[in-house]
Structure 1
Amino acid sequence: MVNVPGWLLPHRITVEAYAGDSAYGPTYRAPVADVPAMVAATVRTVRDPEGREVTATAQVITASGLDCPAESRITLPDGRTTRALTVSAHTAPGLPVPQSVEVVCE
C-alpha cells in the first residue's frame, strides 16, 4: 500500500502520545516533533471515545503509522495545543489509493 505523498502534507505538528492516567493526571510519551501533516481548521460535531457529542475544531491528516491514540496532545502549526478526540486509520487494501491517519482534534 502507498502512503500519502509528502507534498500533500505541508504542515508540521508535534504529537505527545497518550500513555494513560496516573495519580497526577494524564501521562504522555516523549514528544515527536516535525510530523508532516495536512491541518484543516474545521468546526464540526463528533463523538469522543465515551460516545459524548463534542465540538471538534481541527482535522489532521498524516501518513500511516502515526502513534497517536485518542487523548494525545497535539501542537498545531499555529502553536495551539489541542487534544485528539478520534483517530481513524484509512486503508484500502488492493486499491491504488494512499493510506492515511485522520485525527479529529478538540
Structure 2
Amino acid sequence: MVLIPEWMFRHTATIEPFEGDGAYGPIYGDPVTEKCLVDDERRLVRNAEGSEVVSDMTIFLRAGAYYPAGSRVTVGGRTTTVIASKNRDGGGLPTPDHTEVVCR
C-alpha cells in the first residue's frame, strides 16, 4: 500500500462528525483533530442524493479516515460542512491511498 506521505499533511483540521438531526438542529460528535492537506478549489460535485453542489474546499486525510456528510470541519479558522467523504484506495496498485473529503 502506498500512502500520501505524512510530510504533505501541512494543515490541521478539527472535525466534528455528524451524528444526526435533533429537535434543535444537527448533532455532532466529539471534535477530532486530523493532519491534512487542503486544496481551496471551487468545483461542482455530487452530494449523497445525486444533486450537483459547489465545493469550495477539498481536504486530503490519512487512508481509512471517514467523516459522514454533514460533519462540521474547521481549517485555518474557516468552518465548513462535509458534502462527501471518499475512500481513495488503489487496491494494491502503487497509488497514493488516502481519504478525500469535499466541503461546501
TM-score for both structures, normalised by structure 1:
0.90
Q: Distance in 1 between matches of 2:58 and 2:83?
A: 10
Percent identity at matched positions? 40
Written as runs of structure 1 = structure 2, the 5 A alignment for 1:2-81 is 2-33=2-33, 35-77=34-76, 79-81=77-79
3-state SS of the aligned residue for 2:80?
strand
Deviation for aligned residue 1:65: 2.3
Root-mean-square deviation (CA), in Å?
Answer: 1.2
Q: Distance in 2 between matches of 1:96 and 1:51?
A: 30
- Structure 1 residues 51-81: Cα deviation after superposition (integer angstroms, max 9, x where no partner): 221111001001012231111000012x110
Q: Distance in 2 between matches of 1:105 and 1:15?
A: 12
**Among 80, 83, 87, the residue aligned to 1:82:** 80
Q: Distance in 2 between matches of 1:82 and 1:36?
A: 17
Q: Distance in 2 between matches of 1:65 and 1:9?
A: 15
Deviation for aligned residue 1:23: 1.4
Deviation for aligned residue 1:84: 0.4
Q: Distance in 2 between matches of 1:104 and 1:64?
A: 15
- Structure 1 residues 11-61: Cα deviation after superposition (integer angstroms, max 9, x where no partner): 11100001111111110100012x110101100111111222111100100
Query: Contact (CA 8 Å) 2:18, 2:71: kept in 1 or not?
Result: yes
Q: Distance in 1 between matches of 2:69 and 2:57?
A: 14
1:100 matched to 2:98? The reply is: yes
Where does the alignment leave 5 or more consecutive residues of structure 1 unmatched? none
TM-score for both structures, normalised by structure 2:
0.92
